[in-house]
């Protein structure tokens, strides 16, 4: 199969994650099935992090068992609690990731917190630039939460990739001009949170009462998808495919069936004309819906 712009996110392989997660963290054999399913559907890139529990190790073992370790492209992220200006500590953390993942080098290494941009010129760029120069990593990126930091990262020399949340309900990065700037700067955008930790696909009655503020938006999306004759999954993925061409899309799974469902929904032909229609319907989304850190409050 052709290489597709889908990336398998593996936070679920290391920790129990997501408001819609009913199965917890998969065991090693389930993880192998998930990675195999992704590979068979043309996915060649995997996203993980040092902070995702045992995710790196589980992913590395799965790739090894399946014989894909040398063909896979892997993006991981430094533990945000490291001293990012200590070259020795950072080099040791990178070597540990390489060992866990069974790799001699990585496609990209990302910074797990946007506030680390503040030390970029204090030596962080030199530390990461050294890893690139030594052939340990090919690209450097930042995982961001706010449009301001996305713009700052894209305007920073030496940053190649920005990973950010965007979905049918969350237009903040688009309206701030982030995608436009990335195109002008020829930098890569990875979109995460396409299902907003699974919230976008949940049935209304499954949504916890503490998150009642999200229900009207999920109801609206469900009725729009019925009206248009597509599933919510197909619309959520089609929106990214047509609305943000040239980006990569990171999605996670705790079951191999979810990988299959996402890949077949991605292939589904959805008219590009639906993108403005979806945008029109969600111009007023409550900010609490878009920020999972506010859900437990």
* 102 neighbors 63 (Cβ within 8 angstroms): yes
Instruction: Read off the CATH number of the domain in which 28 is found.
Output: 3.20.20.100
Residue 125 lies in a domain: yes
Q: Which domain holds residue 209?
A: 6-294
Q: How many domains does the chain contain in total?
A: 1
Report helix, strand or coil for 263.
helix
CA 11 – CA 161 distance, rounded (Å): 19
Could you identify the residue written with the tokens 């009206």?
Answer: 227
Ordered alpha helix ranges (H), the chain: 28-40, 55-66, 87-101, 124-133, 147-154, 172-175, 178-185, 215-228, 232-243, 256-267, 274-281, 287-290
Q: pTM of the predicted model, to two decimals? A: 0.95
Six-digit token pair at 95?
A: 């070597």
Residue 227 lies in a domain: yes
Full pLDDT tens readout for the chain, 297 residues: 446 899 999 988 987 655 555 656 789 999 999 999 999 999 999 999 999 999 999 999 999 999 999 999 999 999 999 999 999 999 999 999 999 999 999 999 999 999 999 999 999 999 999 999 999 999 999 999 999 999 999 999 999 999 999 999 999 999 999 999 999 999 999 999 999 999 999 999 999 999 999 999 999 999 999 999 999 999 999 999 999 999 999 999 999 999 999 999 999 999 999 999 999 999 999 999 999 999 986
Crossing angle of helices 55-66 and 87-101, rounded to 10°:
40
CA 23 – CA 13 distance, rounded (Å): 11
* 237 neighbors 266 (Cβ within 8 angstroms): yes
Residue 134 lies in a domain: yes
CA 123 – CA 126 distance, rounded (Å): 5
Residue 164 lies in a domain: yes
Residue 1 lies in a domain: no
């Amino acid at each position: 199969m052709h290489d597709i712009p889908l990336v398998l996110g593996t936070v679920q392989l290391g920790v129990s994650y997501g408001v819609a997660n009913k199965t917890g963290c998969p065991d090693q054999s389930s993880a192998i099935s998930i990675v195999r399913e992704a590979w068979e559907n043309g996915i060649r890139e995997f996203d993980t992090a040092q902070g995702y529990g045992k995710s790196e190790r589980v992913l590395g073992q799965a790739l090894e068992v399946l014989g894909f370790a040398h063909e896979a492209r892997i993006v991981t992220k430094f533990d945000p609690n490291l001293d990012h200006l200590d070259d020795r500590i950072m080099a040791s953390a990178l070597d540990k990731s390489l060992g866990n993942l069974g790799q001699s080098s990585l496609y990209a290494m990302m910074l797990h917190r946007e506030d680390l941009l503040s030390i970029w010129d204090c030596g962080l760029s030199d530390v990461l630039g050294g890893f690139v120069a030594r052939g340990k990593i090919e690209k450097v990126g930042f995982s961001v939460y706010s449009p301001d930091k996305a713009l700052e990262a894209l305007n920073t020399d030496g940053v190649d990739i920005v990973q950010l949340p965007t979905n049918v309900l969350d237009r903040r990065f688009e309206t701030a001009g982030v995608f436009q700037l990335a195109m002008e700067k020829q930098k890569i955008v990875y979109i995460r949170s396409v299902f907003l930790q699974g919230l976008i696909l949940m049935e209304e009655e499954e949504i916890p009462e503490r998150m009642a503020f999200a229900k009207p938006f999920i109801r609206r999306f469900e009725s729009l998808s019925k009206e248009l004759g597509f599933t919510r999954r197909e619309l959520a993925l089609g929106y990214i495919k047509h609305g943000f061409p040239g980006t990569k899309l990171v999605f996670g799974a705790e079951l191999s069936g979810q990988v299959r469902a996402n890949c077949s929904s991605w292939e589904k032909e959805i008219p590009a004309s639906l993108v403005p229609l979806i945008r029109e319907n969600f111009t007023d989304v409550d900010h609490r819906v878009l920020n999972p850190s506010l859900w437990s409050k």
